[in-house]
A and B are shown apart, each in its own frame.
Chain A
Amino acid sequence: MTDQKTAAAAPADNEQSALDRFVLRRLHPDFLNGGTDLYRRAKTSVLFMVLGAAFAYFFTFLNVEFKNYGAAAIEGALATLAVVLIWQFKHFRSLVVVGNIEAAITTAALITAASIAGGIDGAALRLIPVIPIMALLLAGMRWAWAWLGFNSLCVIALYLVDKHGTHLPESFRATEPMHYENVAAWWRAWHGLTPLPAEGFKPEKWRELKMSDSIGGMAMALGMASIFEALKDQALRMVEQKNQELAQLFDNMRQAIFAFNREFRVVGQHSGQAKTVFRKPQLEGEHVLDLLFPNAPDYDPEFMAFKAWLDVVFASAPEAWNEMAEMVPGERVLNEFTDDEVFLTVEFRPIVQRGRIDRVMVLATDDTEKVKLAREAAEREAEFSKEMAAMKKLLAGGTQLFVSFMESATDRLSAFEGDIGPAPRMVNASEVEVLFQHAHTVKGEAKAFELADLEEVCHELEERLTDLREPAAMHGSTSTEPVFQELVEGIANARHHIAAVRDRFIEASPIGALVLEQVTVNRTDVASLEGEIRALIANEVDSPRARRIAKLADRLASRPFGEAAGRLQDGVPAWAASLDKRANFVVDGKEVLVPPQLARVLPGCLTHMVRNCLAHGIETPEVRENMGKDPVGTIKLTCIPGSAGPNILIEDDGAGLNTDRLREKAIQMGLKCVPGREWELIFASGMSTADKVDDISGRGVGMAAVKSDVESVGYELDVHSIPGKGTIFLIRHTSATKRTIPPPSLSMGG
């Protein structure tokens, strides 16, 4: 019985086994080969699961905003399991089917999992097709090669579609069945405790998520179009970022910068200063002619020339730019001849793309303030020159009248000030008239001396006083309050102008501040007085008082040093020019009084010595520059008061005396020479180192005559020279010891 049962059961097992075998044979003939293939496939499945988990983990790692490695790994593993199941199912069904479509679905599942897990970005997207392909190739699947071929076709197709302007991804997205809100909700549920970014989802992040979630995104991932799209996005972001950086940079620049295109319209970024300079809220799209030539009539030659330049500039070769740049104005004045003038220094630069000029950049610097300042300075300079000329005219015509005007104007202003009082008060009509007279007189005198500023200030004072005249006449008196402050300010202003005029007058005077102290006296009378006093002291009365009177008479007969030196002021530049040289002439101590005896010989002596300095001392500008000197030489006269009489220095920063030449000439002339003081030979009669005789130097009698003249009035002449540095002459009283007046030394640089 047992055996029967056993015997009966055995066929049933066999039948079951046969059925299994039948089914399995139908489904998978290779199974009959002992299951080794199945085992191998199981191993491959595990491999796929590991790979899926790994790349999901990798994508998650790439994403800095949605990190949850555990979730990503599980997602990846599940996704890969799905792939394996589909794959196995396919193989159970048929080995013949080449799974392009299935492969696409497989990849889609992988991408979905990985992208949801990682919020994958465009850059990582490009890696997606690579991993499963590599995995399948590793597994030795024949259809993997077919899949590769399919993908390649996809790439080409999508590239062509993309290239011809049909944005396939957009159309995919437009029909996208998934809702992002659901994805977000699912995301939160799945990730649980994973906090969302504090700033919330960025729209662009959603867009990327959408791309990576959607079927369209998957299709893109299968083809290279996705890569292009991602790269394009990235490039656009980079361009946007660069534009922002450029805008910030431009906004911090002081130049108006913009670029115009072949339609001559502003494109791209422009600096903040450009909006200010061109008075426009935005420059984009503006025509360059409207910016640089606003309101210019079409016959304006500069407008016409620039228009003609625009017609050719884009057709010109980039390498010929320098020539083109010469044909545009370097300066532009916007709103010329209006109160709103803008002075621009303009530069044009080409922006070259693909070997041709694509745009032209304009860099305009607003020099309005600089130009206006320069204009004002020039106007002030012209005004100053005019006033100085007027001063010189006054000086030539008699200084005392002008000095008298300054004194009387100052007195009148003081009287005016006293009359209006320290605070507003009631004034009657006659008081107003007195004030008016003060202002009017000073104004008239200022006009006579061409002092326009002072005249204007006084005119303003008159105007204010006119405001008081009528009410004072009508009511008998009126308060100065309405105009008090303006009157006070007007007086202060007038005083300021008189002080300025006084300074300029002194500056223009060859004898400096002494001009204010001078009175006109008869020279003969002064000389007679001096003679009489000396005779009195010598023959009749010699008392301290008499000596003081003699000294006073001597001072009366003395002349300011500037009188002798001043006459050389205009001569020096002219003499220098006749020798092809350049020289400044400086006088110090113009006010110092020179005793009458010395004053008589001094002008001739100074003239000769200064001409000597120009002829033998000051070098030509070229020589001076080669020696590292200022090309313009300097001759300086200084007069220092001394107890015995003035000490006068005549300096130049020229080449110094040629001692070798002097020594040589001295030997020729049979003169003795003190070693180390060869320069004193220039005082020897007949001594000249000049090669030729001209109207300035060369006869060799000049310095000897000068020395003789100086000594004839009780003074002595000394000289010192340093080769390459210059020469200095000193005139001093013979009673002055060398202890009180040290030997001359050169003070000017050279």
Chain B
Amino acid sequence: MAETGRILVIDDSITLLSKVKERLAKDGYEILTTTNAVANTALLKGCDLVIIDFHMPGYDGAQVLQALKKAAVQMGIEPLMYLHTTDQAEAAGYKKHGFDGAFAMKGNFDALSKQVQAAFRMIKLRKMQKGG
């Protein structure tokens, strides 16, 4: 069954963005990608989930995250923001950086697909709790 939802993927690798987009779009999601999230915070509009590479040349990951969170507040949206990494130790520290969670198997697109599904379940549960 095709999934629904809009995801913003932020990474400095165009190849990786392309592969992530190809895979998640196949799952049914609407995928937006950018290598420069700070300049393109408008892309956040309507997004349910943001997948962020923490280590991008020329950017401080924490600053990117803060910029996105600020933009989200201004837009009145609360997308879940997930760290995208291959580093398990970094993933374990997701809370310290202010992420909602971590996708710790970067490059494994089958795993990413399942992780994104789980994140969307979280989103639904959150909506359900808010809706009473």
* Closest residue of A by beta carbon distance from B99: A299
Does residue B88 face the partner (Cβ distance < 8 Å to A)? yes
CB contacts (< 8 Å) of A329 on chain B: these are 114, 117-118, 121
Residues in A neighbouring B61, C-beta threshold 8 A? none
A-side contacts of B92, CB under 8 Å = 297-299
Cβ-defined contact, A312 with B129, below 8 A: yes
Most buried by B among A297, A299, A300, A308: A299
Instruction: Tell whether A206 is near chain B: CB-to-CB under 8 Å.
Output: no
Please choose the segment from B28-36, B70-78, B100-108 that sits at the chain A interface, where 4 or more of its residues have CB less than 8 A away: B100-108
A201 within 8 A of B: no
Q: How many residues of B contact A (CB 8 A)?
A: 22
Residues of B within 8 A of A89 (CB): none
B91 within 8 A of A: yes
Known contacts A327-B121, A327-B124: does B103 contact A301 (CB below 8 Å)? yes
Which residues in A have their C-beta under 8 angstroms from that of B119?
Answer: 301, 305
In chain B, positions 43-63 with a C-beta closer than 8 Å to chain A are none
**Chain B window 109-125, contacts with chain A (Cβ cutoff 8 Å), 1 for yes, 0 for no:** 00000111111011011
CB distance from B95 to the nearest CB of A (A): 8
Task: Report if A299-B129 is in contact (Cβ < 8 Å); known contacts: A304-B122, A308-B122.
Answer: no
Select A302's contact among B94, B115, B125, beta carbons within 8 Å. B115
Cβ < 8 Å to B, chain A residues 296-321 = 297-302, 304-306, 308-309, 312
Q: How far does the alpha carbon of A195 sit from the alpha carbon of B55 in the complex, in Å?
A: 88
B115 contacts across to A, CB distance below 8 A: 301-302
B124: chain A residues at CB < 8 Å are 326-327
Residues A304 and B101 in contact in the complex (CB < 8 Å), given A309-B125, A327-B124 = yes
Q: Which residue of A lies closest to B115 (CB)?
A: A301
In this complex, what residue of A is CB-closest to B124? A327
Of all chain A residues, the one with the shortest Cβ separation from B100 is A304
Q: A297 near B82 (CB under 8 angstroms)? A: no
Q: Does B39 belong to the interface (CB within 8 Å)?
A: no
Task: Decide if B104 touches A309 in the complex (CB within 8 Å).
Answer: no
The answer, among A297, A298, A299, A305, for a CB contact under 8 Å with B121, is A305
In the complex, B2 has a CB within 8 A of chain A: no
Docked complex Cα distance between A300 and B104 (Å): 8
> CB distance B118 to A305 under 8 Å?
yes
B91 contacts A297, CB within 8 Å? yes
Residues of A within 8 A of B102 (CB): 299, 301
Contacting residue for B122 out of A299, A305, A323, A326, CB 8 A: A305
Known contacts A305-B125, A312-B128, A327-B124; is A299 also within 8 Å of B104 by CB? Answer: yes
Binary contact readout A285-301 vs B (1 if CB under 8 angstroms, 0 otherwise): 00000000000011111
Residue from A300, A304, A305, A309 with most neighbouring chain B CB atoms (10 Å): A305
* Contact between B88 and A301, CB atoms less than 8 A apart: no
The docked-state distance in angstroms from the alpha carbon of A326 to that of B117 is: 11
Query: Quick one: which of B101, B125, B126, B128 contacts A299, CB cutoff 8 A?
Result: B101
**Interface size range of chain A in the complex:** 10 to 19
**Chain A 317-343 near chain B by CB (<8 Å), digits 1 or 0:** 000000100111100000000000000
Contacts of B91 in A (CB 8 A): 297, 299
Give the docked Cα–Cα distance between A302 and B122 (Å). 9
Which of B118, B119, B126 gathers most chain A CB within 10 Å?
B118
CB distance from A302 to the nearest CB of B (A): 4
In whole angstroms, what is the CA distance A741 to B129 when docked?
78
Bound complex: CA of A305 vs CA of B82, how far in Å?
Answer: 13
Most chain A CB inside 10 Å of its own CB: which residue of B92, B116, B124? B124
Q: How far is the CA of A312 from the CA of B91 in the complex (A)?
A: 26
Whether A297 pairs with B88 at a CB distance below 8 angstroms is: yes
* Contacts A297-B88, A297-B91, A327-B121 given; does A302 touch B114 at CB 8 Å: yes
- Cα distance A390–B55 when bound, in Å? 41
Q: A316: nearest residue on chain B (CB-CB)? A: B128
Q: Roughly how many angstroms separate A304 CA and B116 CA in the complex, as a whole number?
A: 12
Please report the C-alpha to C-alpha distance between residue A596 and residue B52 in the assembled complex, in whole angstroms.
Answer: 66
Query: Given A297-B91, A327-B125, A302 and B118 touching (CB < 8 A)?
Result: yes
Min C-beta distance of A564 to chain B, whole Å: 39
Cβ distance A321 to chain B, nearest Cβ, rounded Å: 13
- Closest A-chain residue to B120, C-beta based? A305
Q: Which residue of B lies closest to A303 (CB)?
A: B118
By beta carbon, the residue of chain A nearest B117 is: A329
The answer to whether A301 and B125 touch across the interface, beta carbons within 8 angstroms, is no
Complex formed: what's the CA distance from A301 to B101 in Å? 6
The answer on a CB contact under 8 Å between B121 and A309 is yes
- C-alpha gap A329/B88 in the complex (Å): 23
* CB-defined contacts of A312 to chain B, threshold 8 Å: 125, 128-129
Q: Which residues of A contact B122 (CB under 8 A)?
A: 301, 304-305, 308
Bound state CA distance, A305 and B124, in angstroms? 10
Within 80-103 of B, Cβ neighbours of A (below 8 Å) are at: 82, 88, 91-92, 94, 101-103
Q: Which residues of B contact A299 (CB under 8 A)?
A: 91-92, 94, 101-102, 104
Q: Which residues of A contact B118 (CB under 8 A)?
A: 301-302, 304-306, 329
Chain A, residues 389-412, CB within 8 Å of chain B (1/0): the string is 000000000000000000000000
- Shortest Cβ distance from residue A333 to the other chain B in the assembled complex, whole angstroms: 9
Of all chain A residues, the one with the shortest Cβ separation from B85 is A299
Nearest-Cβ distance from residue B24 to partner chain A, whole angstroms: 14
In the assembled complex, how far is the CB of residue A739 from the closest CB belonging to chain B, in whole angstroms?
Answer: 59
- Distance (Å) between the CB of A52 and the closest chain B CB? 68
Q: For A327, list chain B residues within 8 Å (CB).
A: 121, 124-125
A305–B103 Cα distance when bound, in Å, is: 13
Instruction: State the CA gap A454–B128 with chains docked (Å).
Output: 59
Tell me the minimal C-beta distance from A373 to chain B in angstroms: 18
Give min CB distance, A618 to chain B, whole Å: 30
Question: Looking across the interface, which residue of chain A has its beta carbon closest to that of B111?
Answer: A336
Contacts of A305 in B (CB 8 A): 118-119, 121-122, 125
A297 touches B104 (CB 8 A): yes
Shortest Cβ distance from residue B33 to the other chain A in the assembled complex, whole angstroms: 20
Which residues in A have their C-beta under 8 angstroms from that of B104? 297, 299-300
B-contacting residues of A (Cβ < 8 Å)?
297-302, 304-306, 308-309, 312, 323, 326-329
Q: Which 7 A-B pairs have the closest CB atoms?
A: A301-B118, A305-B118, A302-B118, A299-B102, A305-B121, A301-B115, A327-B121
Can you report 26 A-B residue pairs in the complex whose CB atoms are below 8 A from each other?
A: A297-B104, A298-B92, A299-B101, A299-B102, A299-B104, A300-B104, A301-B82, A301-B101, A301-B116, A301-B119, A302-B118, A305-B119, A306-B118, A308-B121, A308-B125, A308-B126, A309-B121, A309-B125, A312-B129, A323-B128, A326-B124, A327-B121, A327-B124, A328-B121, A329-B114, A329-B118
**7 additional contacts, CB 8 Å, given A299-B94, A308-B125, A328-B121?**
A297-B91, A298-B92, A299-B92, A299-B102, A301-B122, A304-B101, A304-B118
